[in-house]
Amino acid sequence: MARRVVISGVGAVTPVGNDPDTFWKNLLSGVSGAGPLTRFDDYEFPSQIAAEVKDFDPSNYIDGKEARRIDLFAQYAIVASAQACEQAKIEKNSIDPQRAGVLIGSGIGGITTLLTNYRTLLERGPRRVSPFVIPMMIPDIASALVSIRYNMRGPNFTTVSACASGAHAIGESFRMVRDGVADLMITGGAEAPLHPLAYAGFCAAKALTTRNDDPKRASRPFDRDRDGFLMAEGAGILILEELESAKKRGAPILAEVIGYASTGDAFHITAPHEDGTGAAESMKKALEDAKIKPEDVDYINTHGTSTPAGDIGECKAIVQVFGRGKEKPLINSTKSMIGHTLGAAGGVELVATALSLKSGWIHPSINIENFDEACGGLAIVQEKVEAKPKIAISNSFGFGGHNATIVLKKWENE
């Protein structure tokens, strides 16, 4: 018999807040985390803006010497994991180490460590390359470091599926807890991609917005005049736990995870399928896994990147599954405020989805001035609303045609 899986803690390091409470408050207020790019300024890029994590201080969780040996993406993961564990009342050795695991996705991993040390190699020779370069750059190191911190010896690896990495990590963690492989999983996504080469690559692919004179209005999912996504960074971590395990420890329950599915477009290396079939199949299969019908869904936290092709494909997919011109499901995009955190997006956005179910509020999608015709008839939220959703889904899609959908249910204090 399948076991029930709940979310007993969340953590967030984002462009609009470095803890879940601040993150959620700013989402509800429609605060944008966008601004001029400050991490580097030695290059002339078509896009000069980003959504950077601000005032990040890991010292409460990572000492200075240790931090110098950990890439920024993994620092984000550690801090967000610590927040989630504190909320879930998890301490080292407070749970059976063989029944607890870690699965944190990342699309790029320690790219800054890799490229910084490559420059060192070219300019100063091999003896000057850091002995920590390999464990700092590999994407699975975030999962490894968190597991060491909490002595979790169950399943431990990472998922790398571009912008679906975090969602795939969460979905696979859900299956492991549901199927009895583990009782508890720390899961989500983390990314710190703001390096000149990564930025140049996305610019060359014409994926980024060039609305440089108005950064806070640059990320505009579903708007007719969107011109690309806003590059961002951060981490979103959740504790997925078997229901009785959470109850026994007296942990708070934010929401229940009831379904998950993943599909592939088999279409193009970067572009989504033109008619949204892969995304639609992901949603359909997730609803089947959750044993619910489309009309049961109250809210969709979309992938909603603000790219011309991506938003149209997702709108077409939503119409295929849920129809058009209905009062629900309500729809929004967290990326309108925090930009696109790439492999962390699934984690960050599922934190927002869980907080929507817990609080009853749905945050707005900002910067919509003229709806794209392809998105007409969909109930896209532009002002925060106390909708009291009971069932919500979160979508994540990645380069290569990777699609993932997760279904959450409001916890009713059973």
Three-class SS of the chain: CCCCEEEEEEEEEECCECCHHHHHHHHHCCCCCCEECCCCCCCCCCCCEEECCCCCCHHHCCCHHHHCCCCHHHHHHHHHHHHHHHHCCCCCCCCCHHHEEEEEECCCCCHHHHHHHHHHHHHHCHHHCCCCHHHHHCCCHHHHHHHHHHCCCCCEECCCECECHHHHHHHHHHHHHHCCCCCEEEEEEEECCCCHHHHHHHHHCCCECCCCCCHHHCCCCCECCCCCECEECEEEEEEEEEHHHHHHHCCCCCEEEEEEEEEECCCCCCCCCCCCHHHHHHHHHHHHHHCCCHHHCCEEECCCCCCHHHHHHHHHHHHHHHCCCCCCCEEECCHHHHCECHHHHHHHHHHHHHHHHHHCEECCCCCCCCECHHHCCCEECCCCEECCCCEEEEEEEECCCEEEEEEEEECCCC
Q: Which domain holds residue 157?
A: 1-414
Say whether pTM exceeds 0.75: yes
Question: Is 93 buried (19+), middle (13-18) or exposed (0-12) by CB count in 10 A?
Answer: exposed
Q: Would you give the distance in Å from CA 158 to the centre of its chain? A: 14
Quote the CA–CA distance of 278 and 395 in Å, as a whole number. Answer: 12
Which CATH number is 286's domain given? 3.40.47.10
Token reading at 149: 């911190």
- Residues of the chain above pLDDT 70, percent: 100
Q: CA–CA distance from 396 to each of 111, 181, 332, 367 (Å)? A: 22, 25, 13, 21
| Number of structural domains in the chain | 1
Q: Which of 163, 203, 315, 375 is catalytic?
A: 163
Pair type for strands 391-398 and 299-301: parallel
Across 392-401, average pLDDT:
96
Residues forming beta bridges with residue 187, ordered by sequence position: 103, 238
Given a contact cutoff of 8 angstroms between Cβ atoms, the answer to whether 89 and 250 are in contact is yes
How many C-beta atoms lie closer than 10 Å to residue 104's C-beta? 41
Res 272: pLDDT: 86
In residues, how long is the chain? 414
Report the chain's mean pLDDT, rounded to a whole number: 96
Write out pLDDT tens, residues 303-320.
999 999 999 999 999 999
Instruction: Check 168, 195, 273, 340 and give the catalytic one.
Output: 340
Tokens of 140: 């699975």
Q: pLDDT digit string (tens) for 86-109?
A: 999 998 778 899 999 999 999 999
Amino acid symbol at 352: A
Is position 315 annotated as part of the catalytic site? Answer: no
Q: Name the band, by pLDDT with cuts 50, 70 and 90, for residue 158.
A: very high
Q: What is the mean pLDDT of residues 142-155?
A: 97
Residues 193 and 138: their CA atoms lie apart, in Å, by: 13
Q: Given pLDDT bands bounded at 50, 70 and 90, which one contains residue 42?
A: low
In this prediction, residues 42-66 reach a mean pLDDT of 93
* Percent of the chain residues past pLDDT 90, beyond the cut: 92
Write phi, then psi, for 104 (nearest 5 degrees). Answer: -115, 120
Catalytic: which of 168, 195, 273, 303?
303
The closest of 243, 252, 249, 375 to 322, measured between CA atoms, is: 375
Q: Quote the CA–CA distance of 235 and 142 in Å, as a whole number.
A: 11
For 183-219, what is each residue's pLDDT tens digit?
A: 999 999 999 999 999 999 999 999 999 999 999 999 9
Q: Can you read off the two tokens belonging to residue 64?
A: 């200075």
Distance of CA 109 to the CA centre of its chain: 14
Strands 255-264 and 402-410: antiparallel
Q: How far is CA 344 from CA 164, 231, 302, 308, 376, in A?
A: 8, 12, 14, 21, 29
pLDDT in tens, 320-352: 999 988 788 999 999 999 999 999 999 999 999
Mean local confidence (pLDDT), 2-10: 96
Q: d(Cα 108, Cα 97) in Å, to the nearest integer?
A: 28
35-53 average pLDDT score: 91
Whether 273 is catalytic: no
Cis bond before residue 329 (omega within 30° of 0): yes
The verdict on whether 163 is a catalytic residue reads yes
Q: Is 132 left (phi over 0), alpha (psi -120 to 50) or beta?
A: alpha
Q: What pLDDT is stored for residue 234 in this prediction?
A: 98
In the block, tokens 């996305």 appear at 202
Q: What average pLDDT does the segment 68-92 reach?
A: 96
Check if the beta carbon of residue 209 is closer than 8 Å to that of residue 228.
yes
